[in-house]
Copies of this chain bind each other. A is one copy, B any other.
Amino acid sequence: MSQGIKVNSRVLEMEYAVRGPIPHRAVEMAAQGRRIIPCNIGNPQALGQQPISFYRQVLSLLEDPGAITRERKFRGDGIADALPEDVIDIAAAMLDGSRTGSGAYTESAGFKFIREAVAGFIDSRDGIASGRPTASDPDSILLTDGASGGAVYVLEALISCPQDGILVPIPQYPLYSATITRCGGVLVGYHPDEEAGWALGRENLEQPLKAAAADGVEVKAIVVINPGNPTGALLDRQSMHEVVDVAREWGLAIIADEVYQENTYGQEWCSFASIIGDEPIPLFSLHSVSKGFYGECGHRGGYMEVRHAPSVVGTNLDLRDIFVKQASVNLCPNTMGQFLVHLMVTGPREGSETHRVFLEQKARVLDDLQAKASMIRGYFDQMDGVECFGRTGAMYLFPRLGRLPEGKTDFDYCMALLEQTGLVTVNGAGLGQAPGTHHLRIAFLPPFELIEEVMPEWVRFHNGFG
């Protein structure tokens, strides 16, 4: 083997721009003691965002079952700093619901009591009375290690030959391109209309479907990320209806990546499940504990809800059975991530002091994100040719950089921006963009003061780039 080994070409070809050469250079610069402002990853707690106390107090009690008895005793003894009673009660109830706590494998799809809580959350979020046909079913929910886990199951199952395609927005989150490459399918890109705020018309979706069909590619599903990543843009209702209409007419499943559903900054958001309703269009919707106001990326908690699961040709199974089998090979999602999903979909009891603090912390995080986004957008106005379209959602802005000097790419731009200011961003080519355009993605997560400090430097850099 001294001459080297041949590696699966599909694994070799996978690209993952978010952690590519630019962040690599940033690590080197940080090692030299230079200031780095990492805006390349949606990783809030690495940038100073504080965790929600309620979540962590409950998780802490779940890790050490002895702590529940101990905290009860502290309260009985009137010790100041004992944890609030409702926090202890919630932890105790969860431990009870789990039966086996954090240390045992769970069902491959995750704890049943948590899947029930997720179903209740979805029904209440979407305003659907439980028991109606459109009510969410705990047996159609899989808890996963982050939302990525669910996306990977769907793509691995759906891509059955090299002519199978997945319709993916351009730009897109590289999880999709990397996994489609690894599974050996075809990424069929569709281009939302940037200048219309990344909206979708019928033509944006049908043009690539027709081109794919002409090439002999069978498109099996469409990915929609709402709010968008990397665009950060909130999709309007009309665009969502276009997606559903096209899915119906072309026989596509919908993969709805809805992990930023809490990052909407006061604007209306609705789920694809509520748009589809009773219609038998297969839907895989993804959510996670990593984003929103929780930002618990490290815990790798998430879920996938499957609706209108199609039956599998040549078997008596439906697609949910396949997903559970896939999950069973990895045994189960991590338990602490599962518990955090439970907390995300339930929260503290209304009216308690715990609830008051929770709402305060939640508002602080979301208000801060909104303020940073709008401050950054303000500085874009001072940069020659820069435009940023769409209603702010998620944790990202995806400005169009305008015309770059002859021979320069957005990769060159982002690398130079890093060298000059310490700002780490992701260049548009790594995420996909319309030919001839140049963009970058910036996550608006570092502390307000730090962003405020660097923005004038970026303005100077931009206006002098060339």
Residue ranges of A at the interface with B (Cβ–Cβ < 8 Å) = 1-9, 11-12, 14, 16, 18-19, 41, 43-46, 51, 53, 56-57, 59-67, 70, 73-74, 79, 81, 100-106, 108, 145-146, 148-149, 152, 156-160, 174-175, 178-179, 182-183, 220, 251, 253, 280-282, 290, 295-300, 310-313, 315, 319, 322, 325-326, 328-337
Contact = CB atoms under 8 A, between A and B. Distances in A.
A14 B148 contact: no
Q: In the A-B complex, list the 7 residue pairs whose CB atoms are closest, starting with the nearest.
A: A60-B64, A298-B335, A45-B103, A46-B104, A300-B334, A60-B63, A4-B311
A331 to B, nearest CB: 7
Nearest to A175: B329
Nearest to A111: B298
Contact of A298 (B1, B104, B297, B315): B104
B60 A56 contact: no
Contact of A146 (B4, B182, B299, B331): B331
A411 to B, nearest CB: 18
A463 B119 CA distance: 48
B81 A73 contact: yes
Contact of A61 (B18, B60, B182, B332): B60
A322 B281 CA distance: 37
Given A70-B81, A298-B106, A313-B6, A182 B156 contact: yes
A152 B106 CA distance: 20
A299 B336 contact: yes
24 contacts: A4-B311, A4-B312, A4-B313, A5-B253, A5-B312, A5-B313, A6-B160, A7-B313, A8-B158, A11-B325, A12-B322, A16-B329, A18-B328, A43-B105, A46-B105, A51-B103, A60-B61, A100-B298, A105-B290, A145-B300, A152-B330, A300-B332, A300-B334, A300-B335
